[in-house]
Amino acid sequence: MAEVPFGNDILIEADGMPGFILHAEICEDLWVPIPPSTRAALAGATVLVNLSASNATIGKAAYRRTLCSSQSARSLAAYAYSASGQGESTTDLAWDGHGMIYENGVELAETERYADRESLITADIDIERIVQERRRMTSYQDAAAAEAAVSRRFRRVVFPWLPPAKPSGLRRNIKRFPYVPDSEEERDERCSEAYSIQVAGLVQRLRSSGIMRCLIGVSGGLDSTQALLVAVHAMDRLGKPRSEIIGVTMPGFATSTRTHENARLLMQSLGVTIREIDIRPSCRQMLTDIEHPFAVGKPVYDVAFENVQAGERTSHLFRLANTLNGLVIGTGDLSELALGWCTYGVGDHMSHYNVNASVPKTLIQHLIRWVVKTDLFGAAAGKVLSSILGTEISPELIPENDSASIVDDQPVQKTENRIGPYELQDFHLYWLTRYGFRPSKVAFMALQAWGDVSNGTWPPGFPPEKRHAYDLSTIRRWLEVFLTRFFGKSQFKRSCVPNGPKVGSGGSLSPRGDWRAPSDIEAELWLDDLRRNVPGQD
């Protein structure tokens, strides 16, 4: 005879599957103020299961979902629940066979209720994600330490785990756009809240400073458009005229007619004050002063040539703000900050307050689409916003030819040709910074999400012509660019960023908040993992 341990004080570990620790509770264990699974999770359990003799009543299924979702979220664990179904006595009760699997508050799978057949649901549980999230959340670690005495009373049972001979493939749906809501139901609430957070931050900063005037460099691109919309919302909330927003267009050597016209039309439709400063004369003077080849007619368009323009724009904005007693509102977004795609110091890196500081490029695109869809600012603004969404993303710093004058229609420079598709880089940013996953795992996840256009769902309103797929070689190429720029070249810019509100659970890169790292951090550890474990051309 063998002795088999039994009870809700048992943790079952799998030898060969790091991080997998199972705990089982029964039925109304989940209903009580402190479920046994709570203490089991604090003792290390990552997968919590419940075998329940729960009967069906009106509204009970929704209550079960709330309990399972909440318990998995608060415990930072997976929670699998199975209620009794067909075959139980119906003398006084009915049964629905309700089964669910949740992970960190998110539903992974659910059975059909009242089925006339046996039901089986399966889901992929990301154990590493659970473990990483517990390490990151210091309050969870504090709670586990406080329960250390109780944790020692759990009995541990270890069994060998053998991987399947043939991997079954990933069943889990991985979102292409982790920062963007996938469903119509979420869209309005999430977009409205994103604007509300940005607006609340700006309103408080204006009130605390006693300055009720905003200055924004409006380029006709996505980021300055989003910042302008936030500023308009803020002035409306404060009961101030929109004319207190000073939108400044600053055409340079490579400004396109399309972006220049879009900037002016947008400001007109929103009723803000329009100023224009041609920065080319001052840039020419600076280029002459530093003896740059362009000053003597040579078509040299290097980093100095680009940064002179970015610096002149920011310098003009700050001095104009001094003159008009206003605050310079930053426009740079989270994606640009992650990739270091900004001019340090006296450049687009700096402002008095940056409302876009923790908003990634893909979310900004979605927010603007939502504004158009909901007609928040009227048809005229909506038409311009649609044109802005269709414009190539560009810093507009290098001219098309030697004339160095405003160019036609679309910008010549294409940012994504240099630093990678923002949709892919935002995916990498989320999983590398939010959960600290290894680059090789991020590449695997990116392939699942982006490998096939027809798989999974797309955000509501996402244009069919912009739905892309990426193979593993392409993913590896741009992930290497991301790792090199994020870890190897850009942290010093993130060590001194302007104030700005945190918007999403994906976090921010502020050194005062979610991301604290030395300025001279190196990328080799991350690049080594990618190169060793993801096939591709080095």
Query: Do 82 and 221 lie in a common domain?
Result: no
Question: Are both 200 and 271 inside the same structural domain?
Answer: yes
Give CA 413 to chain center in angstroms. Answer: 25
Residue 54's pLDDT band, with cuts at 50, 70 and 90, is very high
Tokens of 69: 């979702």
In a domain, 179, yes or no: no
Domain count of the fold of the chain: 2
Q: Are 228 and 372 within one domain?
A: yes
DSSP single-letter state for residue 392: P
- Is residue 172 situated within a structural domain? no
Does residue 435 lie in a domain region? yes
234 shares a domain with 111 = no
CATH number for the domain including 49?
3.60.110.10
Hey, is 385 helix, strand or coil? helix
Question: Using CA atoms, how far apart are residues 412 and 379, in angstroms rounded to an integer?
Answer: 29
Residue 262 lies in a domain: yes
Q: What is the predicted pLDDT for the residue at 412?
A: 67
SS (H, E, C) 316-352: HHHHHHHHHCCEEEECCCHHHHHHCCCCCCCCCCCCC
pLDDT mean over 200-219: 97
The reported pLDDT for the residue numbered 118 is: 86
- On whether residue 251 sits in a domain, the answer given is yes
In a domain, 366, yes or no: yes
Question: 357 with 330: CB under 8 angstroms?
Answer: yes
Is the pLDDT at 407 greater than 60? The verdict is no
Same domain, yes or no: 251 and 394: yes
Q: Across the chain, what does the average pLDDT equal?
A: 93
Residues 28 and 101 in one domain: yes
What percent of the chain is modeled with pLDDT above 70?
A: 97
Residue 233 CB contacts under 8 Å (≥ 6 apart), including other chains: 195, 198, 199
* Residues 156 and 188 grouped into a single domain: no
User: Any idea what DSSP says for residue 55?
Assistant: P
Residue 236: which domain range? 184-533
In a domain, 527, yes or no: yes
Coil vs helix vs strand at 277: coil
Confidence of residue 98 (pLDDT cuts 50, 70, 90): very high
Cβ atoms of 252 and 263 within 8 Å: the answer is no
- Whether 422 and 454 map to the same domain: the answer is yes
Burial 173-200 (b: 16+ CB within 10 A, else e): ebbbbbbbbbeeeebeebbeebbebbbe
pLDDT band at 325 (very low <50, low <70, confident <90, very high): very high
The three-class DSSP label of residue 222 is: helix
Contact (Cβ atoms closer than 8 angstroms) between residue 47 and residue 23: yes
More confident residue, 8 or 38: 38
Average pLDDT of span 140-159: 91
State pTM to two decimals.
0.92
177, part of any domain: no
Q: Is residue 185 very low, low, confident or very high in pLDDT (cuts 50, 70, 90)?
A: confident
Question: What is the sign of the dihedral through the CA atoms of 327, 331, 332 and 334?
Answer: positive
Query: pLDDT tens, 430-454?
Result: 999 999 999 999 999 999 999 999 9
On whether both 361 and 442 belong to a single domain, the answer is: yes
In the block, residue with structure tokens 């936030």: 230
Report DSSP state, residue 77: S
**Whether residue 506 is found in the same domain as residue 437:** yes
* Statement: residue 205 has pLDDT above 50: yes
**CA 428/CA 451 separation, integer angstroms:** 14
Residues 140 and 214 occupy one common structural domain = no
Query: What pLDDT does 401 receive?
Result: 59
From 484, 479, 476, 478, select the one nearest 537 (Cα to Cα): 476
What CATH number does the domain containing 477 carry? 3.40.50.620
Cβ–Cβ under 8 Å, residues 237 and 201: no
Q: Is 401 in contact with 422 (CB distance < 8 Å)?
A: no
User: Does residue 191 share a domain with residue 115?
Assistant: no
| 343-388 per-position pLDDT tens digit | 999 899 999 999 999 999 999 999 999 999 999 999 999 999 999 9
**CB neighbours of residue 413 within 10 Å:** 19
